Amino acid sequence: MKISGFTFLRNTSKLYYPIKESILSILDLVDEFVIALGEGDEDDNTLEVIQSIGSDKIKIINTVWDIEKYPRGMEHAHQTDIAKEACTGDWLFYLQGDELVHEKDHSNIRAACEKYLDDKQVEGFLFRYMHFFGDYEHYRRDHCWYPDEIRIIRNDKDIHSYESAQSFRRMPNFDGLSYRTKENTYKLKVVKIDADIYHYGWVRPPKLMLKKAKYFNHTHRGAAYVNDEFQKYAQDTYDYGRMDRTLKFKGTHPKVMDKKRSELDWKDDLRFSGPTVIGRPIQKHEKLKYRMIIWVEQNLLGGRLIGGYKNYELVSE
């Protein structure tokens, strides 16, 4: 059995992505790690960070992004597919540049891959998500944040990245462009694995969090949207909002994150009380409707979520 790791990256170092830590978190588990590395800005050193790992398992494919050809975030899916198609494993383990796996889960992951290797009904594995928010001590897992997602898929040419690379879908006769279409595409049949994805996409110094938000929205909604939307900010840093409304993390982080965590120096910029800042766009989880739903989920339903995004079909074991 062979497992390939894969991802796409571009301007990730300058935007505070834990890319080295992400790769290292599964490097011992995989036989190769394929990276579609987009041409970045002159002040980004993503390539140097990758090279500092010094592993011959890592394979880099240099790419150039085209967000006009692949708008609405679909370039992310396109880049993911470029890396996927170069993988040679039986199972393909996808991690985005801000996602990590805890070493405690490696044995469960490998055991699942071995158990279902010849069971063609199983097309992938579903992981729980921990969305860390603001710092490394708080996270979100509620109605506004996807609780589970596919991160291991079978090496099958008809399985493609979906939408803006959040998930995967079976797409027979794929045209190479329509990453957001549902017509004639199918949800993957997956097994839910006892393992977590540690998502650090919302843990950055406030200035870099705002910068990252602008980059993200540029690839998804275009320059005009970014110029209009971010004029609403009265300051040049990102405001995470009321941190006391997030969940307190009581577990441990992957060991490879120890150094990154020790470098957190924006604790005093986080707010745990007070009103919403005037002029600041309200996030979905801060709106009254969703705050009420989240309260019900966390206080009456024991953390069970009401509805939500579900791009998969669970296979009964």
Residue 111: other Cβ atoms inside 10 A: 12
Asked, for residue 90, whether it belongs to a domain, the answer is yes
The pLDDT of residue 68 is 93
pLDDT band with cut points at 50, 70 and 90 for residue 38: very high
Query: How many domains are contained in the chain?
Result: 1
Given a cut of 70, is residue 277 above it in pLDDT? Answer: no
The pLDDT of residue 223 is 76
The pLDDT of residue 307 is 74
pLDDT band with cut points at 50, 70 and 90 for residue 248: very high
Given a cut of 60, is residue 127 above it in pLDDT? Answer: yes
Asked, for residue 169, whether it belongs to a domain, the answer is yes
Asked, for residue 228, whether it belongs to a domain, the answer is no
Task: Classify residue 242 by its DSSP letter.
Answer: B
Given a cut of 90, is residue 121 above it in pLDDT? Answer: yes
Asked, for residue 17, whether it belongs to a domain, the answer is yes
User: Phi/psi of residue 144, each to 5°?
Assistant: -90, 0
Asked, for residue 62, whether it belongs to a domain, the answer is yes
DSSP string of 268-296? GG-BSSSPPPTTPPPPGGGSHHHHHHHHH
Given a cut of 60, is residue 317 above it in pLDDT? Answer: no
- Compare 52 and 242 and report the one with higher pLDDT: 52
Domain of 85, CATH number, reads: 3.90.550.10
Question: Rounded mean pLDDT of 269-284?
Answer: 77
Question: Rounded mean pLDDT of 269-285?
Answer: 78
Asked, for residue 237, whether it belongs to a domain, the answer is no
Q: How far apart are CA 59 and CA 170, in angstroms?
A: 25
Q: Residue 174 is encoded by which pair of tokens? A: 């794929």
Asked, for residue 65, whether it belongs to a domain, the answer is yes
Given a cut of 80, is residue 291 above it in pLDDT? Answer: yes
Asked, for residue 296, whether it belongs to a domain, the answer is no
Given a cut of 60, is residue 64 above it in pLDDT? Answer: yes
Q: Which residue range is the domain that position 9 belongs to?
A: 3-122+147-186
The pLDDT of residue 275 is 73
Give per-residue pLDDT as tens, 14-35.
999 999 999 999 999 999 999 9
